[in-house]
């Protein structure tokens, strides 16, 4: 992707900053971010001449001004935490749904060519029909999941009503450098790595035989770019299509770090699902194949990054 004007909402967060870093040398990038969980330090070069950063909440931003001349939008800004959304469902709706509708409306006015939306496997909820296909009915079990499902519906409705092109990417378990390890709700990979690097005993909830479908953040970046370049309007799972148990994951991380610390097993947490696995056949529609055969290399890259910040 070259010589395009791109808006990245949430571009200072974990995933958005990877997208910005990848595209910045060959495109003009505008980031809008309210710093709720993002940070300038996530960017390789916050001073890059191709970069404009607007520190503002998407709900309050002057979108018509921001979207002038924008070709493509990567829309990642969101309250991205399930527990926070359960504590504050109205805030989640304001942040995730209402702000998205305003963005879509302005995108139509400004003739944006396409919007790529960061959705989530959370929309499948407790659906056990593995591997999960995009055609399954959403079964959201949290306000966060409901917000993502409703944004997908608004995207479809804006495509039908105004011809605004879109792809909604349903990410499964994303991991990689820059992922937050400090949050109370940190994901399993940063939790395991940071515990071992800091000499703590990691915790596994349940028997550890629960499985997840992990996908490297750089694959997420490429999926966003491919989706942008494709003519596909609709929803696509972004995942490896492979299941890995939490016990096996822990073994791999332990081996990579040369550690012999055993995990502490605590009772299963309420609401945790047993298995999650994507059907990834729709990735063809955006001409993308994940690099999931290199999981161990990707994990090493992630561990090396954590070593630099811990």
Ligand X SMILES: NC(=O)c1ccc[n+]([C@@H]2O[C@H](COP(=O)([O-])OP(=O)(O)OC[C@H]3O[C@@H](n4cnc5c(N)ncnc54)[C@H](O)[C@@H]3O)[C@@H](O)[C@H]2O)c1
**Residues near 173 by beta carbon (within 8 Å), at least 6 away in sequence:** 121, 187, 188, 189, 212, 213, 214, 215, 239, 276
If the CB atoms of residues 2 and 180 are measured against ligand X, the closer one turns out to be: 180
Segment near ligand X (CB under 6 A); pick from 5-13, 44-52, 100-108, 190-198:
5-13
DSSP H/E element including 205: strand 203-205
144 labelled catalytic: yes
Name which of 32 and 196 has its Cβ closer to ligand X.
32
Footprint of ligand X on 140-159 (CB under 6 A): none
Which residue among 72, 124, 144, 232 is the active-site one?
144
* CB 263, min distance to ligand X, A: 21
DSSP letter, residue 233: -
Q: Please answer whether residues 79 and 38 qualify as being in contact, where contact means their C-beta atoms are separated by less than 8 angstroms.
A: no
- Contact pick of 6, 14, 66, 263 for ligand X (by CB under 6 A): 14
Contact letters for ligand X, residues 121-140 (x by CB under 6 A): --------------------
Give the burial class of 293: count Cβ atoms within 10 A of its Cβ; 0-12 exposed, 13-18 middle, 19 or more buried: exposed
Footprint (CB under 6 A) of ligand X, residues 166-195: 171, 173-174
Distance CA 191, CA 28 (A): 35
Query: Out of 32, 70, 257, 278, which residue is the one contacting ligand X (CB under 6 A)?
Result: 32
Give the nearest distance from C-beta 278 to ligand X in angstroms: 12
- Out of 6, 12, 221, 246, the only residue in the binding site for ligand X (CB under 6 A) is 12
16 vs 241 by CB, closer to ligand X: 16
Exposure b/e, 155-192, CB count within 10 A at least 16 = b:
beebbeeeebbbbbbbbbbbbbbbbbbeeeeebbbbbb
- Rule CB under 6 A: which of 82-121 touch ligand X? 95, 99, 118, 120
CA distances from 116 to 14, 15, 227 (A): 16, 13, 7
Our finding on whether 13 is near ligand X (CB under 6 A) is: yes
The answer to whether 29 and 6 have CB atoms below 8 angstroms apart is yes
Distance CA 27, CA 29 (A): 6
- Please tell me the number of Cα atoms within 13 Å of 3 on its side-chain side: 0
The DSSP element (H or E) to which 215 belongs, if any, is: strand 214-216
At its nearest, how many Å lie between ligand X and the CB of residue 260?
A: 29
Minimum distance of ligand X from residue 211's CB (angstroms): 16
Asked if residue 229 lies in contact with residue 295, where contact means CB atoms within 8 angstroms, the answer is no
Binding ligand X (rule: CB under 6 A), the pick from 38, 140, 143, 176 is 38
Considering only 37, 100, 194, 298, the residue that binds ligand X (CB under 6 A) is 37
Binding site for ligand X (CB under 6 A): 10, 12-16, 32-38, 57-59, 76-80, 95, 99, 118, 120, 171, 173-174
Q: Which residues are known to be catalytic?
A: 144
């Amino acid at each position: 992707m070259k010589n395009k004007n791109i808006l990245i909402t949430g571009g200072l967060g974990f995933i958005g900053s990877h997208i910005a870093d990848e595209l910045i040398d060959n495109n003009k990038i505008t980031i809008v971010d309210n710093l709720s969980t993002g940070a300038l330090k996530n960017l390789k070069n916050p001073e890059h001449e191709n970069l404009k950063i607007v520190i503002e909440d998407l709900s309050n931003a002057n979108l018509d001004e921001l979207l002038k001349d924008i070709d493509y939008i990567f829309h990642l800004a969101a309250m991205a935490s399930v527990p926070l959304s359960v504590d504050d469902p109205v805030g989640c709706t304001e942040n995730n749904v209402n702000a998205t509708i305003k963005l879509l409306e302005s995108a139509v006015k400004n003739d944006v060519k396409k919007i790529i939306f960061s959705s989530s496997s959370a929309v499948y909820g407790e659906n056990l029909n593995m591997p999960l296909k995009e055609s399954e009915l959403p079964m959201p079990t949290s306000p966060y999941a409901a917000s993502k499902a409703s944004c997908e519906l608004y995207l479809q409705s804006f495509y039908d009503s105004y011809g605004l092109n879109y792809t909604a990417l349903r990410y499964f378990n994303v991991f990689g450098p820059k992922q937050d390890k400090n949050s109370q709700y940190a994901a399993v990979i940063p939790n395991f790595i940071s515990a071992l690097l800091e000499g703590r005993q990691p915790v596994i909830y349940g028997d550890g035989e629960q499985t997840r479908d992990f996908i490297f953040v750089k694959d997420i970046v490429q999926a966003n770019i491919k989706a942008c370049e494709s003519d596909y309007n609709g929803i696509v799972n972004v995942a490896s299509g492979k299941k890995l148990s939490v016990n096996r994951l822990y073994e791999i991380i332990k081996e990579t770090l040369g550690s012999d610390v055993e995990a502490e097993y605590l009772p299963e947490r309420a609401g945790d699902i047993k298995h999650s696995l994507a059907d990834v056949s729709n990735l063809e529609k955006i001409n993308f194949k994940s690099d999931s055969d290199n999981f161990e290399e990707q994990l090493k890259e992630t561990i090396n990054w954590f070593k630099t910040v811990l």
